[in-house]
Copies of this chain bind each other. A is one copy, B any other.
Amino acid sequence: MNELRLFGVANYPEVTEGDRLADLIAERTTLEDGDVVVVTSKIVAKAEGRVVSVDRSDSVARTQLIDDHATRTLRKRGDLMITETVHGFVCANSGIDWSNVGAGSAVLLPRDPDRAAFKIRERLRAAQQVEVAVIVSDTFGRAWRNGVTDVALGSSGIKPILDLRGSLDHHGNEMTGTQICIVDEIASAAELVMGKARRVPVVVVRGIDPEWLDPTAGDVRGAVVRSASEDLFR
């Protein structure tokens, strides 16, 4: 691969509970085999009806909601809680978001982002007879660096991590420790097209190395989420 193209799916409508996200994509764009379709977790969650009525200014209710969706709290400072979600993600406020939703409401994370990615992929195949990969993305902060970037919460049809251990660089050295989280890199790339205030919740990435796509690949929860016991920072 020596060129990558990313473009947003135009005129994607506001999503509400019960919407079939894949159909809304298929009606608006023509996919090709090997495309990677990146979908924000926000619309996955909305389609799942994961919207709750909690005012962000009600700090007791807000903290309770974040706690309810966490298995542990790593840090707390002012309004900010760094928690581990029931999925195993470590992020701010259990991933609960008060933006891009009506006032007084909050959007939870999707129930099972890998499963959501799988279902969208299945349905895109049925609609357009294409073999694509799907990534469900969200915006997370990081330790040690300011600012947020998009990462993958779920994936289907693509290797979440490209494992180059054992392969040789062009000096003939064995590459060690090089396991590239391509699904996070693709989510970050897609965010550049999505923007945050613009209504571009779906981005198509074209030109990904065909070897990275794999209908039987594992998923984000299995490959990317690091267990607490393996983690040096929990």
Residues of A within 8 A of B (CB): 1-8, 10, 74-75, 77, 82, 89-90, 92, 98-103, 139, 142-151, 160-161, 164, 167-173, 175-182, 184-186, 188-189, 191-193, 195-200, 208-209, 223-226, 231-234
Contact B226 A193 (CB under 8 A): no
Main secondary structure of the interface of A (DSSP, over half): loop
CA distance A40 to B164 in the complex (A): 18
Q: Known contacts being A164-B197, A189-B192, is A170 close to B100, with CB within 8 Å?
A: yes
A136 to B130, CA, bound (A): 37
17 more A-B residue pairs beyond the given contacts A3-B6, A101-B173, A189-B189, with a C-beta to C-beta distance below 8 A:
A2-B200, A4-B6, A4-B189, A4-B192, A99-B175, A100-B173, A101-B171, A103-B173, A144-B225, A144-B234, A149-B180, A149-B188, A164-B197, A168-B197, A170-B199, A185-B192, A188-B188
Q: Which residues of B contact A195 (CB under 8 A)?
A: 209
Question: CB-CB < 8 A to A223: which residues of B?
Answer: 146-147
Q: Chain B residues with Cβ under 8 A from A189's Cβ? A: 4, 6, 185, 188-189, 192
- Given A99-B169, A103-B173, are A233 and B144 neighbors across the interface (CB < 8 Å)? yes
What residues of chain B lie closer than 8 Å to A101, measured between beta carbons?
A: 171, 173
Known: A149-B188, A170-B100. A164 touches B6 (CB 8 A): no
Given A144-B231, A160-B147, A188-B149, answer yes or no on A171-B2 (Cβ-Cβ < 8 Å): no
Give the oligomeric copy count.
Answer: 2
Question: Which chain B residues border A5 with CB–CB below 8 Å?
Answer: 3-6
A98 near B188 (CB under 8 angstroms)? no
Q: Which residues of B contact A199 (CB under 8 A)?
A: 170
Beta-carbon contact of A102 and B179 below 8 Å? no
Chain B positions within 8 Å of A102 at CB level: 171
Q: Which residue of B lies closest to A77 (CB)?
A: B232
A129 to B40 CA separation, bound complex (whole angstroms)? 39
The docked-state distance in angstroms from the alpha carbon of A2 to that of B232 is 39
- Known pairs A147-B161, A185-B189; A103 contacts B1 (CB<8 A): no
What is the bound-complex CA distance between A143 and B84, given in angstroms? 12
- List, in ascending order, chain B residues with CB within 8 A of A98's CB: 173, 176
